[in-house]
Amino acid sequence: MTLISNSLAVVDIATTLHPNTNLRQHERTGPLVIDRGDGIRVYDDRGKEYIEGLAGLWSVAVGFSEKRLADAAYKQMLKLPYYHTFSSKANEPSIRLAEKLIEMTPSNLTRVFYTSSGSEANDTIVKMVWYMNNALGRPQKKKFLARTKGYHGITIASGSLTGLPGNHRDFDLPAIPVRHLTCPHFYRFGMEGEDEAAFTARLLAELEAVIAEEDADTIAAFIGEPLMSAGGVLPPPAGYWEGVERICRANDILLVSDEVICGFGRLGTPFGCQKYGFTPDIMTLSKQITSSYMPLAAVVFSEAIYDAIADNSEKIGNFGHGFTASGHPVATAVALENLAIIEENDLMGNAVRLEAQFQAGLKSFADHPLVGEARGAGLIGALELVSDKNTRKPFEKIGRAGALASGIGHDEGLIFRAIGDQLALCPPLIVTSSDISEIITRLGRTLDRLPAAIAAEGLV
């Protein structure tokens, strides 16, 4: 694909450790160097055009060329390019953004803490909850419940919450007390003869059993993405989230909604918890908060949690946690402008209006011999590749078929993410009906070419 004789590629290979990458393979093939962006499209350093079907990393709501965000950053750079929020310092953009986030999120969430990434935000949540429970005289209440295939970040704490083996292997994770429950994906984890309602009931019974086994007095919180994304775009079964909330409330377990991908309109509602009918005690926000033009994340949480933390900070003299860039004035100024664009252009409504076309386009491939399941919600979706449709048998070499599809997709001018052998799409919220038609067309050409590539590799 990308020629390693390209000078930028040569320097990259010689100097850079890439995240989430087979590094020896990268040395052989080199990087795809993206040079510029325009709307939903990006262009590499040779001028080739691609539709960015994953919005970067599930994150660019307003496209790759929004001048208003560049102007907002420039104006703030001129006025106050940086200041911290330690020791009672503040700046106007971070104050205004906190006010806006509290206005947008469920009414029980009244406080905001800033970080630069979702990983840092979820790491912060672990520390906040531990700090709170120590303050309340509950030092044993420290365990977390998460799900297999959930993704919550890659720091030591957030990486422990993540339920993906590839993010644990050889990193000595999990490193905090966490129990991973069954992934709520009916297609892959439903049992023989079990319908969706029975699957939901089994998962909720498992949750209650784990709480009883571990002792509710030792469990601090349950964390989950409303729709699991980096695990393969896995919508929950009907009734799942309502049941999880009910069980958590009955056992005094905090409920954390990780909205890093689902938040700010991806599913057609402001936040995923609203789509699936539950009210969290804490929310994690990032990615589309700035369309990733600037690194920013936020933890939004309830007044009860704040009161316990605030009382303890007075008791011991300090809330000893924070980051150099917490509440960064440029990042928060960009976020305010980004959220204004989302509202002014009704991009959440755009997700509602185009959901049927997008999901129908994906489901049009359901009969393809390599597609086991087409799934999604709002403007996020995936195709799961299998070696046998009838038995749902995965490929023996997990990830190789997905990698082949990704390479063909690049050739066809479409960037999506191969999560193992699941092809994930999440276009920018500015996408149009004609854009979706073109995405589906390019995806179709990719799938047309895939069987021959798989056969050549000897995968079937």
pLDDT band at 1 (very low <50, low <70, confident <90, very high): very low
pLDDT at 459: 85
Average pLDDT over residues 409-435: 98
pLDDT at 7: 86
Residue-wise pLDDT for 35-52, tens only, equals 999 999 999 999 999 999
Cα angle, residue 160 at apex, residues 154 and 164 outer, rounded to 5°: 75
Q: What is the residue-averaged pLDDT of the chain?
A: 97
Residue 6: pLDDT above 70? no
Q: Under CATH, domain 32-62+346-457 is a member of which superfamily?
A: Aspartate Aminotransferase, domain 1 (3.90.1150.10)
pLDDT at 2: 46
Average pLDDT over residues 71-97: 98
Q: Do domains 32-62+346-457 and 68-344 have the same CATH topology?
A: no
Q: Residues 370, 386: contact at Cβ < 8 Å?
A: yes
Phi/psi of residue 444, nearest 5 degrees: -60, -40
pLDDT at 305: 98
pLDDT at 39: 98
Q: Residues 54, 376: contact at Cβ < 8 Å?
A: no
Q: Could you tell me what percent of the chain has a pLDDT over 70?
A: 99
Q: For 68-344, CATH number? A: 3.40.640.10
The ranges assigned to domains in the chain are 32-62+346-457, 68-344
Rounded to whole angstroms, the Cα distance separating 227 from 25 reads 31
**Which residue, 336, 390, 348, 383, is CA-closest to 364?**
383
Place of tokens 């021959």: 452
Q: Residues 395, 384: contact at Cβ < 8 Å?
A: no
pLDDT at 259: 98
Alpha carbon distances (Å) from 85 to 127, 150, 296, 323, 453:
18, 31, 14, 9, 53
Question: Amino acid identity of 42?
Answer: V
Q: Residues 26, 18: contact at Cβ < 8 Å?
A: yes
Question: Amino acid identity of 340?
Answer: A
Q: Which residues contact 262 (CB under 8 A, 6 or more apart)?
A: 225, 226, 227, 229, 271, 272, 275
Q: Which pairing describes strands 143-147 and 49-52: parallel, antiparallel, or unpaired?
A: unpaired
Residue 275: pLDDT above 70? yes
Residue 391: pLDDT above 90? yes
Average pLDDT over residues 14-32: 95
Residue-wise pLDDT for 343-352, tens only, equals 999 999 999 9
**Which residue, 244, 288, 298, is CA-closest to 262?**
288
pLDDT band at 4 (very low <50, low <70, confident <90, very high): very low
Cα angle, residue 245 at apex, residues 373 and 266 outer, rounded to 5°: 45
The beta-strand segments (E) located in 346-435 are 371-377, 380-385, 414-415, 417-419, 422-425
Q: Residues 293, 53: contact at Cβ < 8 Å?
A: no
Residue-wise pLDDT for 312-369, tens only, equals 999 999 999 999 999 999 999 999 999 999 999 999 999 999 999 999 999 999 999 9
Of 232-236, 247-251, 379-383, 393-397, the least confident: 393-397
pLDDT band at 385 (very low <50, low <70, confident <90, very high): very high
DSSP structure class, residue 6: S
